[in-house]
Structure 1
Amino acid sequence: MSSLKLLHLTFAGAGKETAQVAFGSRLTVVYGASDTGKSFVTEAIDYMLGARRLNVIPEAEGYSQILLGLALPDGSVITLMRAPRSSRISVFEDDLRELVYRAPDLVLSAHHTPRSSKNLSRFLLERLGLGGALISTNDSGGTKLLGFRDLLHLCLISETRMVSKVSPVLRTSGPSGQTAHKSVLKLLLTGAGEQAAATRPNASQRRVHKGKIDLLDKLILDLQQQLTNHGANQTALEEQLRRIITHLDARAVSLRDVTARHSAAAEKRATLSVGLGRYTERLAEVDDLLGRFELLRSQYESDLARLAMISEAGGLLGYFHTGTCVFCGAEPEHQRTGHDEQETTALHTAVAAETTKTQHLLSDLLVTIEGLRAQRQDLADQRGAALAQAEAADREITRIEDEELRPLQNEATELMTARSRVERELGLHTRIQELEEVRAGLVADGALPSGRPSGSIPASTVVDFEQTIQRTLDAWQVRRAGEVSYDQYSAELSLGDRPRAGRGKGMRAVLHAGFAVALADFCLRRDHSHPGFVVLDSPLVTYRAPGGRDAALPEGVRHHFYRHLFTDFAGQAIIVENDDPPADIVEQAQVYLFTREPHSQRFGFFPAGPGHSPTPSDE
């Protein structure tokens, strides 16, 4: 049986704790909450098997090596090693699961090209017995060499493609490449590729090819003229982008720190402004009271002056002496005993009492005024201190803005501009490389004379494959209204009278998963070449049983799905899901729970710190 087996996916870096997922020989389940790095496992496997780039998540920063262990059809074990942003893959003839320091046994290009055999695609295809296999490129008999990526999209299904309306056979919805995609399925189902052209292209086909090549040359030249840094190749630009992103991350940390200090200073200034307002309001109240009390003091002093004048005038006018009564005019002989003394004493007593009362009031008022003046001075001192603090806060805010915040913002803007420029350059390089590969394919592919259509899949083989899909869905206990059918001309998979594209995304995902599993099972049980594994990202999370839109996924489907893959599937299955697998699967298969909760079994794909190493249940 010509198939591969995934052994482990490992991220290693100097000074970093190794992050690793070891795959079971039959079934591996990675499950847990969203945003814990589950889909990153799928993307990393795809990257290690030839994808052009990997969207590196923040937790992966600092890891310089990605290792993928593979068991080859002959039983030997190799380890593929690739840097996060590299177009080269190192091959080691050993099972390595730690940071690698020694030289590789072989270095390959990560990208398939028909011009060279030193690439990962040709390396793996030769081990699968598909080296030199041809697939159709058009209905006129054009062929090209099979690439490993042509096979991988049939067995490694991302979450997006799982629910896509595009047929499981095709990689894109556009018409380009559909013939090749259908031809790949034919190769797997029949075990035989297309035959090489027996004749050379005719004159008409050569003219068409020359026109296509001329057009591609013009497009490539136009893209090359758009490059602003002609001396920098793709690898140099990728390294430059990595440095820019590193600097951006560092500036982002600094910017957060400076912004936090700026916000704290602004908040302190706002608090001081409130305090200054209160001090100003209180001082105004005290000044108003002092003004009123000064008026009252003046009144008291005026009253005392008038009383003193009355007392003095009474003494001068004899109000307070014996003789003719100044009040009634009676002569002394006519006055009763004590007459004048009563009158003068009453007046004098009244003046003295009023004077004493007024002096007491004035004394109390002076004490109050002195207390208010002391209070005002204290308030003025506090306001002065608060004003000094406010001025210091203003200076600090201005300093942070001028010396720290604005320079960091300007530097971040420059880095973002540089990042956009480098990413644009990388995009141009990628597009140029894609066009050059198409051009090389046109040069390498021999056009066949018109009128020779590509071969179709025998009807009996299609029927056998349809029945394999049906048995797979039945084993999962998926309720289906009708038989499964595959139209090899439209590449459409249908269930009953409705095509897969016309179903809800839950049923589309289950049908896509069933197609991929059935295809692997069909090939492996007939000793046809196949990668030997399926990687399915979220095949069940959106599925609901017919007639129960809001009902939860039936436990029976989930149980039988995992049970079938563990016991009856001929290949190796890696499932990425949100929901928990059945308890018996957790005990028997290789299972990882990814979570963001501290002190859990597995804190995401990357270790969160000491004590967070992978502890799967062994198969």
Structure 2
Amino acid sequence: MTELRLLHLTYAGMGRQTARVDFDPRLTIVYGASDTGKSFVTESIDYMLGARKLNLIPEAEGYSQILLGIALPDASVITLMRAPQSGRVSIFEEDIRDLVYRSPDLVLSAQHSPRTTKNLSRYLMERIGLDGSLLATNDSGGTKLAGFRDLLHLCLISETRMVSKVSPVLRTSGTSGQTAHKSAFKLLLTGAGEQPSPSRLNQAQRRVHKGKISLLDDLILGLQRQLSSREANQSQLQQQLRRLLEHQEDRAESLRDVTRRHTQAASDRATLSVALARYAQRLAETDDLLGRFELLRAQYESDLARLGMVSEAGSLLGYFRSGPCVFCGAEPHHQQAGHDAMETTALHQAVTAESTKTRTLLADLLLTIDDLRSQREYVAGDQAVQAALAEQADAEITRIEREELTPLQDEVTEVMATRSRLEKELGLHARIEELEDVRAQLVSEEAQPGGQPSRGIPPATLTGFDRTVERTLDAWRVRREEEVAYDQYTAELYVGDRSRSGHGKGMRAVLHAAFTTALADYCLEQRRSHPGFIVLDSPLVTFREPGVREADLRQSVPQHFYRHLLNAFRGQAIVVENTDPPSDILDQAQVYMFSREAHGQRFGFFPLTSSSSPTQYSDTAASATPPAYWR
């Protein structure tokens, strides 16, 4: 076996919930609503296998590692790890499905280079047995070393390329590189690359190469001048960044702990402030009552004093003069014997009664005043305790801010600045390495032999491939009345006299999917080297079979398309579609539905939020444990 198998695509980030899809060894289907990240799966696989850049979607913010698990032909398992917008790929010789901190077993450049084997392209080409194969670059016999990207466009088809009028063999509609694209297709079909010959580039070509190399040298020199740590190489910078990330995580955890304690101390201080306000209110109310009661007490004491005076004066008034009674006002002729004594006695009794009542009220008032003073002392004591606690809380808050929080914040700021510097340095190194790879390729092409034009694909091989495409279309129940043929000179696929580009976009997509599937099937059947997997993005969404009602469409081509990939296709298929697959396929393949609804089967490729609960982002493939068929 020389083919690869994709195991999983995982996005991981510090403080982020892992986002992952696991791939079935036979058929994986990702379908559902638009704008949920389905095509992002295709783009991410392409990026992990050597694409220069990845257009990140907003939901990917905060994810720092992209992991792609691969089963190699020797049955071993590796995990590719690449950061977004990075030119390096780390290789771990185990299946990893979560954020990884340890050092990789191998670090490779993401870009192909013929001058070194330390790049992902050469690594994968060696695994599938095609490293060292040459591709034709022109009709004069020029050749170049084949890279994995030269083959990937024949098995990973984006939504745009699926409906494009450009031939399935070619990457773009431009004339540049068409010879190499055709040669890559020939390499897979025949299993043999081009043969080197002794001649070199002509004088005009060497002058052009020399100018390009000179320009690249200037660009590389300019980038090298921007490096601030020239004494540290790329590997050392990566080690520093790894240690810094570990230290940053430790400091972040400490900062979270200090922030949590600071928040708790502030909350406790706020509770004490509320309690102190309540005590102050109670003391104010008590002082107000005591003031009022003191006034009442003074009034009672004044009344008693006046009553005493009245009692004393009453006993004397009748003895100092004669005339009308000072008590009742009776004239002397109306007064009886002993009249003064009688009136004096009555006044004394009235005064005594009033004094007794007033003393009773005063006694009760004094008890109340004593009780209020006791309560005030108790409240004042509690207030003093709470005030002391508030002072301690203020001191603790100040200590945490001065001794822990501020130093940690300063340290985290410094760590972030250092991380930014290291990442910038690594970015410069990666860019320098990319330019050096391009420079080395130009140097290699200048020294690369040429001479004899590339030979075509043998007719028997081409016929066998054409029949495989026909069998694929027949298995999908795609109506056709004429034979299928591939023209190796125009790189066009024909159905009868009509080229693929002459069909509508629905038929173009189906023919492109059939071409890709048949190529993989033919290579695996003939035991020729092939990546072993195909990724088809939107092969059916624009297709509608003539004469078939839309209600019956699901029972025709799509149903047979999925059944063929599941039961007859020899490789691994990953299909990204908008429409629902047939119900009988759901239980047999690895199926993901992206619904863009919080309560759907799965919201999208990324969780709804970083703190979503498992019920919001659940499916059978979301487990961190590899599927049983890989163990």
Q: TM-score over 0.5 for the alignment?
A: yes
How far is the alpha carbon of 1:188 from its aligned partner?
A: 5.6
Q: Which residue of 1 aligns with 2:76?
A: 79
Distance 1:173 1:189 in 2: 19
Which one of the candidate residues 593, 601, 604 is aligned to 2:622? Answer: 604
Q: Which residue of 2 aligns with 1:291?
A: 291
Question: Does structure 2 conserve the Cα–Cα contact (< 8 Å) formed by 1:171 and 1:181?
Answer: no
Q: In 2, Cα distance between the equivalents of 1:444 and 1:304? A: 124
Equivalent-residue separation in structure 1 for 2:217 and 2:387 (angstroms):
72
Structure 1 residue identity aligned to 2:571:
G
Aligned residue for 2:72? 70
Letter in 1 for 2:207: R
Query: What amino acid does structure 2 have at the position aligned with 1:570?
Result: R
Deviation at residue 145 of structure 1 after TM alignment: 1.4
Corresponding position of 1:114: 114
Q: How does 1:510-589 map to 2 (within 5 A)?
A: 516-521=516-521, 523-524=523-524, 529-535=529-535, 560-574=560-574, 585=585
Q: Equivalent residue for 1:610?
A: none
Counterpart for residue 16 of structure 2: none
**Per-residue deviation, 1:272:** 1.6
1:306 paired residue number: 306
Name the amino acid aligned to 2:72: L
Kept in 2: contact 1:168–1:515 (CA 8 A): no
Distance 1:364 1:258 in 2: 57
Match of 1:265 in 2: 265
Q: Distance in 2 between matches of 1:348 and 1:604?
A: 103
8 Å Cα contact 2:68/2:79 also seen in 1: yes
1:387 paired with 2:358, answer: no
* Distance in 2 of aligned mates of 1:575 and 1:228: 46
What SS does the aligned partner of 1:115 have?
A: coil
> How far apart, in 1, do the equivalents of 2:2 and 2:334 lie?
152
Structure 1: distance between partners of 2:168 and 2:580? 29
Shift of 1:134: 3.5
TM-aligned CA deviation for residue 116 of structure 1: 3.9
Q: Which amino acid aligns with 1:302?
A: S
- 8 Å contact kept, 1:188–1:530: no
CA deviations over 1:170-227 (Å, ceiling 9, x no partner): 9998979764774466436764766767743232222111110000001111111111
- CA-CA distance at 1:369 after TM superposition: 2.0
Once the 2 structures are TM-superposed, how far is the Cα of residue 392 of structure 1 from its aligned partner?
1.3
Rounded Cα–Cα distance in structure 2 between residues aligned with 1:167 and 1:296: 106
Instruction: Please name the residue that 2:3 is paired with.
Output: 4
Shift of 1:453: 11
Q: Against the structure 1 CA distance between its residues 446 and 190, is the aligned structure 2 distance closer, same or farther, given a 3 Å change threshold? A: farther
Q: Letter of the 1:270 partner, please give it.
A: A
**Is residue 134–residue 194 contact of structure 1 (8 Å, CA) maintained in 2?**
yes
Segment of structure 1 superposing worse, 206-215 or 285-294: 285-294
Deviation at 1:408, TM superposition (A): 1.4
Q: Using a 3 Å threshold, how does the CA distance of structure 1 residues 342 and 108 change in structure 2: closer, same or farther?
A: closer
Q: Which residue of 1 aligns with 2:349?
A: 349
Counting only pairs closer than 5 Å after superposition, residues 222-261 of structure 1 correspond to structure 2 as 222-261=222-261
CA 1:51–1:334: 2 relative to 1, 3 Å: closer
Distance 1:580 1:433 in 2: 44
TM-score of the aligned structures, taking structure 2 as reference length:
0.68
Q: Return the alpha-carbon distance in structure 2 between the equivalents of residues 170 and 349 of structure 1.
A: 131
Deviation of 1:378 (Å): 2.1
Distance 1:328 1:318 in 2: 11
Q: Which moved more, 1:169-178 or 1:31-40?
A: 31-40
1:342-375 deviation per Cα after TM superposition (whole angstroms, max 9, x unaligned): 5333322332222222222222222222222222
- Supply the AA of the counterpart residue of 1:79: S
Q: Summarize the alignment of residues 90-169 of structure 1 with structure 2, pairs less than 5 Å apart.
A: 112-116=112-116, 121-122=121-122, 125=125, 130-135=130-135, 143-156=143-156
Whether the 8 Å contact between 2:558 and 2:581 is mirrored in structure 1 is yes
Q: Per-residue deviation at 1:436?
A: 0.7
Could you say which residue in structure 1 is the equivalent of 2:438? 438
What is the aligned partner in structure 2 of residue 187 from structure 1?
A: 186
SS in 1 for 2:358: helix
Taking structure 1 as the reference length, the TM-score comes to: 0.69
> Which deviates the most, 414-423 or 297-306?
297-306
CA distance in 1, matches of 2:63, 2:194: 45
For residues 433-477 of structure 1, the C-alpha deviation after alignment (integer angstroms, 9 at most, x for no partner) is 111110011111149999x99999999999998998898688668
CA contact (8 A) 1:169 1:182 kept: no
Match of 2:209 in 1: 209
Secondary structure at 1:445 match in 2:
helix
Q: Secondary structure at the match of 1:534?
A: strand
CA change 1:412–1:163 in 2 (3 A) is farther
Root mean square deviation, CA, Å: 6.1
Q: Distance in 2 between matches of 1:341 and 1:490?
A: 148
The number of residue pairs the alignment matches comes to: 569
State the Cα deviation string for residues 286-323 of structure 1 (Å, max 9, x = none): 22222222222222221221111111222232489999
Residues in 2 aligned to 1:257 and 1:35: alpha-carbon distance in whole angstroms: 36
Q: What is the alpha-carbon distance in structure 2 between the residues aligned to residue 513 and residue 52 of structure 1? A: 25
| 3-state DSSP of counterpart to 1:314 | helix
User: 1:544 and 1:245, CA in 2 relative to 1: closer, same or farther beyond 3 A?
Assistant: farther
Moved more, 272-281 or 320-329: 320-329
Structure 1 residue 423: Cα displacement: 0.8
CA distance in 2, matches of 1:140, 1:172: 22
CA distance in 1, matches of 2:485, 2:355: 121
Is the contact between residue 318 and residue 325 of structure 2 (CA under 8 Å) also seen in structure 1? no
Q: SS where residue 530 of structure 1 aligns?
A: coil
Distance 1:308 1:29, change over 3 A: same
Q: Deviations over 1:572-596 (max 9, x none)?
A: 3356899997776576567899997
Letter in 2 for 1:252: A
User: Residue 568 of structure 1: CA displacement?
Assistant: 2.4
Pairwise CA distance, 1:399: 1.3
Choose 231-240 or 319-328, whichever is displaced more.
319-328
Give % identity: 52
Quick check: 1:223–1:432 contact (8 Å CA) kept in 2? yes
Residue-by-residue CA offset, 1:378-432 (whole Å, 9 max, x unaligned):
2222222222222111111111111111111111111111111111111111111
8 Å contact from structure 2 (residues 166, 173) kept in 1: no
**Structure 1 residues 239 and 273 mapped into 2: Cα distance closer, same or farther (>3 Å)?**
same
Partner Cα separation in structure 2 for residue 167 and residue 337 of structure 1 = 147
Q: Which residue of 2 aligns with 1:362?
A: 362
The 1:235–1:478 alpha-carbon spacing in structure 2 relative to 1, beyond 3 Å, is farther
Counterpart Cα distance in 2 of 1:444 and 1:320: 147
1:200 matched residue in structure 2: 200
Q: In 2, are the aligned partners of 1:592 and 1:616 still within 8 Å (CA)? A: no
Q: Counterpart of 2:392 in structure 1: which amino acid?
A: A
- Structure 1 counterpart SS, 2:382: helix
Tell me if the contact between 2:162 and 2:513 (Cα under 8 Å) persists in the aligned partners: no
Letter in 2 for 1:315: S
Gaps spanning 5+ residues in structure 1: where? 12-19, 72-76, 99-105, 607-612
* Matched residue type, 1:275: A
User: Take 1:511 and 1:394, find their aligned partners in 2: how far apart are those partners?
Assistant: 75
Q: CA deviation at 1:166?
A: 12
Q: Secondary structure at the match of 1:200?
A: coil
SS in 1 for 2:72: strand
Q: Distance in 2 between matches of 1:457 and 1:581?
A: 37
Partner letter of residue 277 of structure 1?
A: A
| Structure 1 residue 269 displacement after superposition | 1.3
Hey, what's the Cα distance between the residues in 2 that align with 1:458 and 1:438? 33
CA contact (8 A) 1:589 1:617 kept: no
Q: Which residue type is aligned with residue 395 of structure 1?
A: A
Contact residue 4 and residue 533 of structure 2 kept, 8 A: yes
Q: Deviations over 1:23-53 (max 9, x none)?
A: 7664467999999999999968975x66899
SS of residue in 2 equivalent to 1:573: strand
Unaligned 5+ segments in structure 2 are 11-19, 83-87, 97-104, 494-498, 546-550, 594-600, 603-612
Query: How far 1:565 sits from its partner (Å)?
Result: 1.1
SS at match of 1:4: coil
Instruction: Say if 1:342 and 1:276 are closer, same or farther in 2 by CA, change over 3 A.
Output: same
- Specify the code of the residue in structure 1 equivalent to 2:401: E
